[in-house]
A and B are shown apart, each in its own frame.
Chain A
């Protein structure tokens, strides 16, 4: 069974631009979560989607948003990029309900210049 996939793997953007990251969960997994990893803040939860609905949200500004499609694939969007948004963005998927083991993708490394 294929693992969680994320695209693109690397991205360089300029301050003020916006970016969209994509995540495809493991087949059969309906919950998708997003995390941000930075050297200063560590791994922090962004949001979780299930059945195209956001079920949980972390403490991030409204510039960070996401969505989930009917095939469980998810995208996250960051608008008006700031230098501090440079990070590794990780996506995780799990079976429906909770608690279930979460499986992570390889991540998207975003650099904002």
Chain B
């Protein structure tokens, strides 16, 4: 199956700093999503970005599908940004319409004062 690698595994930042999280995947995909898992376990949708660039406030993401990677940028980090960030991808499954997300192992971000 497809492999999804995220880096770095852990990241500690001071409030106000910027960061870049990376997601590499081993095969072509037709769906890529970034999530933030809050302390209670819920996955919060950040971006649906199989290709191109999107921005939402202090967050932005870029996926270069031909080179099989995606980047999540966090600018002016805040303590509320702390948590685990997951990248998840989906590959076409035959000719059917079944769906399945494969997750990376996540980047654990801690933002300190």
Q: Are B98 and A99 in contact (CB under 8 A)?
A: no
Q: Give residues 30-82 of B contacting A (CB, 8 Å).
A: 30-31, 33, 35, 40-43, 45, 48, 50
The answer to whether A31 touches B99 (Cβ under 8 A) is yes
Of B10-18, B19-27, B100-108, the one with at least 4 CB within 8 A of chain A: B100-108
Indicate if the CB atoms of A56 and B99 lie closer than 8 Å.
yes
How far, in angstroms, from A109 to B39 measured CA to CA in the complex?
Answer: 13
Counting chain A CB atoms within 10 Å of each CB, the highest count among B35, B41, B102 belongs to B41
Chain A interface residue count, Cβ-Cβ cutoff 8 angstroms: 30
Q: Which of these, B41, B96, B101, contacts A37 with CB under 8 Å?
A: B41
- CB of A56 within 8 A of CB of B100, answer yes
Given contacts A103-B45, A107-B41, contact A45 B102 (CB under 8 A): yes
Contacts of A84 in B (CB 8 A): none
- Given A103-B45, A105-B42, the answer on whether A45 and B30 have CB atoms closer than 8 Å is no
Contact: A33 with B93, CB < 8 Å?
no
CA distance A35 to B43 in the complex (A): 11
Residues of chain B within 8 A (CB-CB) of A48 are: 98-100
Residue in A42, A45, A88, A102 whose CB lies within 8 Å of B105: A42
Further pairs besides A48-B98, A106-B40: 8, Cβ < 8 Å: A42-B106, A96-B97, A98-B97, A101-B45, A102-B99, A106-B42, A107-B41, A107-B42
B interface, CB within 8 angstroms of A: 30-31, 33, 35, 40-43, 45, 48, 50, 86, 88, 90, 92-93, 96-103, 105-106
